[in-house]
Chains A and B, each alone.
Chain A
Amino acid sequence: ELKVEQNPLFLSMQEGKNYTIYCNYSTTSDRLYWYRQDPGKSLESLFVLLSNGAVKQEGRLMASLDTKARLSTLHITAAVHDLSATYFCAALRSNTGNQFYFGTGTSLTVIP
């Protein structure tokens, strides 16, 4: 079974600061996805990382993938309050084709 762990589980950070969320997975996975979820809402796709070394950036968020280390990171630059949400990574289990395994989630609160 593919296990996906995120840390930290909870993150409180001040506006303007930088921080990184880590996502580790236990077995081979070629693809890694990041989602954002606001309270009571559904999941919104942020990034799709399809190969080793992939780096994607959108605004203050940047995601990267190292398949050899089985690690993905989500880096937050100069945080703003609007980034407060829960962030999930999800790994695709290669030999099942389409089954995602979600990480535990990181609840981010950006405080003024």
Chain B
Amino acid sequence: DTEVTQTPKHLVMGMTNKKSLKCEQHMGHRAMYWYKQKAKKPPELMFVYSYEKLSINESVPSRFSPECPNSSLLNLHLHALQPEDSALYLCASSQPTGGVGYTFGSGTRLTVV
């Protein structure tokens, strides 16, 4: 069982839709991350939250909007996405200093049509 839970596992959305990806961790970690991964490529960092504050935004388009309501929850709000945004979206958590590494959620497979 993963200790980082992502929902939904699969999502198909149109380019005019608004949807949200959700991530929850119960590991007591104070850093949470969103990554985007295209097929056969390494994960690409999108956002980092440390102590519920956005600390890194890797020049992600504004159609992706992160939110960290509390230390256990991380959301990614999606609006007006493009087909090229189709990918596996991974949430991860860790201690703020990196510690023993990230724990990844199972991911959300997003398809934009």
Contact = CB atoms under 8 A, between A and B. Distances in A.
Interface of A: 31, 33, 35, 40-45, 48, 86, 88, 90, 92, 96-100, 102-105, 107
Interface of B: 2, 31, 40-43, 45, 48, 50, 56, 88, 90, 94-98, 100-107, 109
A33 B2 CA distance: 18
In order of increasing CB-CB distance, the 7 nearest A-B pairs are: A102-B42, A98-B98, A92-B98, A33-B101, A43-B104, A42-B104, A42-B107
A45 B103 contact: yes
Contacts of B106: 41-42
Contacts, number: 61
A88 B101 CA distance: 13
B94 A43 contact: no
19 contacts: A42-B104, A42-B105, A42-B106, A43-B90, A45-B104, A48-B101, A90-B102, A97-B97, A97-B98, A98-B94, A98-B96, A98-B97, A99-B56, A100-B45, A100-B98, A100-B102, A102-B42, A105-B40, A105-B41
A40 B9 CA distance: 11
Given A41-B106, A42-B106, A105-B42, A98 B100 contact: no
Contacts of A42: 2, 90, 104-107
A44 B103 CA distance: 8
Contact of A31 (B2, B31, B98): B98
Contacts of B42: 88, 102-105
A86 B31 CA distance: 25
A33 B43 CA distance: 14
B76 to A, nearest CB: 16
Contacts of A33: 101-102
A100 B95 CA distance: 12
Contacts of A43: 43, 90, 102, 104
Nearest to B95: A98
